Amino acid sequence: MSETAGSDRKPARKPLVALTGATGFIGQYLLNELPKRGYRLRVLLRRPTMLPKGCASAVIGDLARPYNMAEALAEVDAVIHTAGLASTMTGVPEDDYRLFNTEATVGFAKAAQRARVRRFVFLSSIRAQSGPTAEGVLTEDREPRPTDAYGRSKLAAEQGLAATDLDWVALRLALVYGPGVEGNMARLIKLARSPYPLPLAGLKAEHSLLGLDNLVEAVDKVLAADAPLRRPLIVADPKPLTIAAMIAAMRQGLGRRAALFYVPKPLLRGALRAAGQAETCATLFGSLVADPSALSQLNWVPPIETEAGLAALLRGEASP
């Protein structure tokens, strides 16, 4: 083909993606990173707000009672649904989780189906599959057994998506870390920043984590997948870590030694219970390892290793 003929060709249209939850921890990161990968974003908002340059928006109100959905989803190629009640919220009734995480998600998916959206990406959770700990390694083939209202609401949303004719994918996220993280990960970061030696060297239980950059790569891969998905996919960094290894990596990022020492588990368990931290025992002493092999079959290669990502986070960087 001659240079003249080639110059007449119109550039390929960038995919238009509708994003919910753009003001949240994960949503903000996707909002900043996906345009760098060639996506056009239309942010669906409860109310007008400031957005980064180049991002379009549509106000749809509360997702539990949305309006203007046909216009908001017009010409949209895919949806990324991150909005909902988080597991870090305490004292939330189960009915609220069901309303916002299940019913609103399924209703939104049906609106996307009417708008002929090509793919619906739902940010679910590994808690849709298990409790805070689990025996063995979790895979998508294991029967889901959530243990709390949050996990049950996420699993019910996945089941609602499966009942539609949409091409959907539910990303079951391991515990996500990155700038601005809250909940258990924020508490672990606080521990790592403390100046004191910690009695955690004897904890051998492993836990799967997920770096924000690795999550963005996963979202990119499922958006670009040619074949229909219609399934859940576990998203986790490939290498699980012990609590001690996480603290050591974070303190390395601070330029400090790990400063961990051994205390027999019964003594550590007793001390935590005496301090009113009985619930912490299950997380510290039990494993939660998730296998992302199915996602890897979509050529997902996480760009950041977990230890390097944790060290970078404590240095105040998004990535090493």
What are the 10-residue block averages of pLDDT along the chain, 320 residues in total?
46 85 93 94 84 75 85 95 80 86 95 96 97 94 95 97 97 96 90 93 94 98 96 98 96 96 86 68 84 97 97 73
Residue 122 Cα distances to 26, 97, 284, angstroms? 12, 15, 29
Give the pLDDT score at 266: 84
Give the pLDDT score at 52: 66
Between CA 127 and CA 310 the distance in angstroms is 22
Q: How far apart are the first and last CA of the chain?
A: 43
CB 146 within 8 A of CB 87: no
Q: Is 93 exposed, middle or buried (0-12, 13-18, 19+ CB in 10 A)?
A: exposed
Tokens of 41: 């974003």
Give the pLDDT score at 317: 53
Tokens of 34: 């996906």
DSSP characters over 207-264: E-EEEHHHHHHHHHHHHH-SS---EEEEE--SS-EEHHHHHHHHHHHTT----B----
Give the chain's radius of gyration (CA, Å): 21
